[in-house]
Amino acid sequence: MDMEILSRFFLWCAILNLSMVSLSFLIAAGAGDFVYRLHSRWFPMPRETFNAIFYSFIGGYKILTFVFNVIPWIALTIVRASLP
């Protein structure tokens, strides 16, 4: 596997994962009450706890996306640019 294929792989992984983060945020912002009602049927908890858990999940997912997708893509792009 050459660096071009690996770079494209990490780029598409980053695009897809950041799209999922954005979609999760939009769902939380636009339909937060619906999501809370849906999940509180299965896991009864106060709204403040649900908000903390949900936004912690989005934050953790975003950090993992940057660490495992975006940063490797940037590093490969830098390395490819520095090769003759």
Segments forming the whole domain that contains residue 16: 3-82
Q: What is the pLDDT of residues 15-73, one digit of tens each?
A: 999 999 999 999 989 998 999 999 999 999 999 999 999 999 999 999 999 999 999 99
Beta carbons within 10 angstroms of residue 69's beta carbon: 20
Whole-structure pTM value: 0.85
- 41 by Cβ neighbours in 10 Å (0-12 / 13-18 / 19+) ranks as exposed
Give the total number of structural domains in the chain. 1
